[in-house]
Structure 1
Amino acid sequence: MESAIDKHLKCPRTLSRRVPDEYQPPFPMWVGRADERLEQVVMGYWGVQYRGEDQREAALRAMRHIAASLSLPDGPLSHDLTHHTDNSGYDNLMIVGYWKDPAAYCRWLRTPEVIEWWSSEDRLSDGLGYFREIVAPRAEQFETLYGFRDELPGVGAVMDTISDDIEEHGYWGSMRDRFPISQTDWMVPSGELTVIAGDPATGGRVVVQGHDNVALIRSGQDWADAGEEERSLYLNEILPTLQAGMDFLRDNGKDLGCYSNRFVNYIDLDGNFLNLSYNIGHWRSLEKLERWAESHPTHLRIFVTFFRVATSLSKLRLYHEVSVSDAKDQVFEYINCHPQTGMLRDAAPTKT
């Protein structure tokens, strides 16, 4: 058994773990591994927002355009397509890409086909909403956890390999303990979300400035290869509890420090649903996320349900990734999105 923190990211601890050194986890789990050359990753979320069936085809065309642009030189090493309906009744198509080299991302972003399409006046007049939410955590600023060891999704797809069984899981606080930076840093947030360009109430282009240590969690479920028994277990026992918790955060997360919560389903290029899903949540801090996870009934039900069935899972693939990032490594930009979208809801107006 080994630590979730890779050897080259280890340093003398000034902050202790939540469990004693002799702790033994109740079942095996694994984390993604990358070599010392990986210093920072880029996690990019692009959205197309629409309302009503009459806009669906136009939205799908826009999604396909963004997805195709990811195949240009210096595009991401991995990407996926998703759909969700938000609590304002809007449909959202999201294209999610991962880079292991921020310089490659910057080159891709400056490609004429990419920058000209995003900055075109057509984005303001085609009847759709658009957003891009980009974070670039350093290697010490993110952690992963997988219940399987092959074909890692999300940020795991840009890492090199998988660990052996790890120590830091199965207890409250293990998420924080898997962060390399947690050895010396509490990851305390500073500042507030602030609108620095545009006005969410009137639409158009709006830019939100983030703050240090915004926390981002992606928690996924893949039942594509599950047999009848495991599929039933997921659909009838795990999913209802999970859906209730995610809907609660979507609708009531503001008071808990959750800026945005989206429970999304994978789709193909035609918008057909696939048997994979994940939740994507932005939080003011890791501490706010931890507090909800450890104490709120909606997550305690999820946690108890998972622990009850964890040892019987073989084909149902569950995982998560959590990151924090510096304000300078965040981009939150919205075009004609409704004012409850993403970071817009909680962003303070620019002071004049």
Structure 2
Amino acid sequence: MCYEKKRVFSLKRPPGHKPKKQRWTVKFHKDVHKVCTLYLGVQYHGRTKNNQARTQAEQYIELLLSNEPYQPTVKETFRMTAGNDIPGSKLWIAHWTDPIRFFAKLKEIDLLRIWLDLGDCSRHEIGLWYEQFTVPLDRLQTNYVRLDYHKPGLAALPMVELPPHDLTEYWGAGRDRLAASAFDEFPLLAHPTTTDTAPRIEQVGHGQRIWGTNYNNMCHIRSGQRWEDCDDEERAAYEGSLQPTLMRGMQYLWDNPEETGSIGLRMGKRVIAGATDEQSVLETSVMGFHRNWADLEKWSSRHPSHLEIFSASMKHNKRFGDDRKFITWQEVAILKEGEAAFEYVNCDLKTGVMRWVELDAQGLVGVKTSKL
């Protein structure tokens, strides 16, 4: 006879709690045990708006991700607008549910070789970076307010179910949605190199290749906002009230990383590449890392900047009711040590996690231009 393993830590959900509004989550196929995610970016440090080196680098990355047989199952593209990156940088977000295919693709992504191949006259204007992680399903949680007409992020993966859930509308719901929270509190273990977000090593960024892995229980979060499908009234309401409130909360995180534990959060606007140009979509994502889950919970449950976002969101939902078309979603991963890896080649020092995680560095001056 089989017995379900007893929880060590209780759910945060209040007894008898029933949410007022339905929410949905991603349920993966029984053969899927991990989700693999790649963030891949191209920065431009030049002064001219339409630089050939940037176009060359972006086209190469697009081709590299699209090449068979290990192309991602889901791929999205963004232009960075704020946060820990250079505004205007292009970002690809890609997902796999097969780790073998994922790591095979990673072997094809040699950032230093790509950077060197840009040529002596172009490479100094370009920065390339990736952040990637593989997370077991019990350390991954998702939450979507709607899925009836647009499926973003992990919800777009094939062969997934999108069932409703009731772990929402109370403080601590995000932790409850992490299956591993039944047996793990995800503590930030005391260690001289990881106890806070103070910079660890002297880094320059430009002219360097910087790389390394994560410490235990680092948190990754992606939150999305889509108002592309809204009518004029709801679109104006979001852009005039809720979006500015969101930006004030994000700015607080960017301005106070030591207090809040914010590590490498970016904000970008989704774009769809055409034959000769890019089309912007009224959809944004905030994505990046956080020192640990407890710090993120503390900010989201107590700080006025997030409570203002929560209040404005409830006001928007009440105004437009079930007819609203505005979508938000959240995806969170709690990463064990070594489950994430980072690499930055000739990037600005504020990029990603460079200032907040102990990483190795290599000077790019004198690196041979032959293929590695």
Aligned residues of 1:198 and 1:207 also touching (Cα < 8 A): no
Alpha-carbon distance in structure 1 between the residues aligned to 2:137 and 2:70: 20
2:126 alignment partner AA: L
1:69-148 correspondence to structure 2 within 5 Å: 69-72=64-67, 73-86=69-82, 90-91=86-87, 92-111=89-108, 114-115=109-110, 118=113, 121-122=116-117, 125=120, 126=123, 127-148=125-146
Aligned with residue 291 of structure 1, among 298, 307, 331: 298
1:328 maps to 2:338: yes
SS in 2 for 1:215: strand
Measure how far apart 1:30 and its partner are. 0.8
Measure how far apart 1:29 and its partner are. 0.7
Output one character per residue of 1:233-280: Cα deviation in whole Å (capped at 9) or x when no partner. 211121010111112212322332111221111123334422111111
SS in 1 for 2:43: strand
SS in 2 for 1:84: strand
Aligned residues of 1:198 and 1:204 also touching (Cα < 8 A): no
Aligned residues of 1:84 and 1:264 also touching (Cα < 8 A): yes
Alpha-carbon distance in structure 2 between the residues aligned to 1:61 and 1:180: 43
Measure how far apart 1:318 and its partner are. 1.2
Question: Post-superposition, which runs of at least 4 consecutive aligned residues in structure 1 deviate over 6 A?
Answer: 194-198
Aligned residues of 2:269 and 2:280 also touching (Cα < 8 A): yes
1:68 maps to 2:67: no
1:146-157 correspondence to structure 2 within 5 Å: 146-150=144-148, 151-157=150-156
Measure how far apart 1:78 and its partner are. 0.7
* Equivalent residue number for residue 215 of structure 1: 219
Question: How many residues are aligned here?
Answer: 340
Moved more, 82-91 or 288-297: 82-91
Alpha-carbon distance in structure 1 between the residues aligned to 2:289 and 2:171: 20
Alpha-carbon distance in structure 2 between the residues aligned to 1:41 and 1:159: 13
1:239 alignment partner AA: Q
Give the gaps of 5 or more residues in structure 2. Answer: 362-372
* Equivalent residue number for residue 158 of structure 1: 157
2:298 alignment partner AA: R
Output one character per residue of 1:108-133: Cα deviation in whole Å (capped at 9) or x when no partner. 2224xx43874552369512111100
Q: Cα gap change, 1:165/1:116 in structure 2, threshold over 3 Å: closer, same or farther?
A: closer
Alpha-carbon distance in structure 1 between the residues aligned to 2:338 and 2:26: 25
The TM-score normalised by the length of structure 2 is 0.83
Moved more, 50-59 or 70-79: 50-59
Alpha-carbon distance in structure 2 between the residues aligned to 1:88 and 1:177: 29
1:316 maps to 2:326: yes
Measure how far apart 1:304 and its partner are. 0.9
Alpha-carbon distance in structure 1 between the residues aligned to 2:310 and 2:101: 38
Measure how far apart 1:214 and its partner are. 1.0
Measure how far apart 1:282 and its partner are. 0.8
SS in 1 for 2:110: helix
CA RMSD of aligned residues (A): 2.7
Output one character per residue of 1:178-204: Cα deviation in whole Å (capped at 9) or x when no partner. 011111111123454699999445632
SS in 2 for 1:161: coil
Give the gaps of 5 or more residues in structure 1. Answer: 1-9
Measure how far apart 1:215 and its partner are. 0.6
* Equivalent residue number for residue 6 of structure 1: none
Alpha-carbon distance in structure 2 between the residues aligned to 1:124 and 1:345: 28
Moved more, 41-50 or 85-94: 85-94
1:176 alignment partner AA: R
The TM-score normalised by the length of structure 1 is 0.88
Alpha-carbon distance in structure 2 between the residues aligned to 1:116 and 1:27: 45
Q: Cα gap change, 1:201/1:117 in structure 2, threshold over 3 Å: closer, same or farther?
A: closer
Larger radius of gyration: 2
Measure how far apart 1:348 and its partner are. 4.1
Alpha-carbon distance in structure 1 between the residues aligned to 2:83 and 2:21: 36
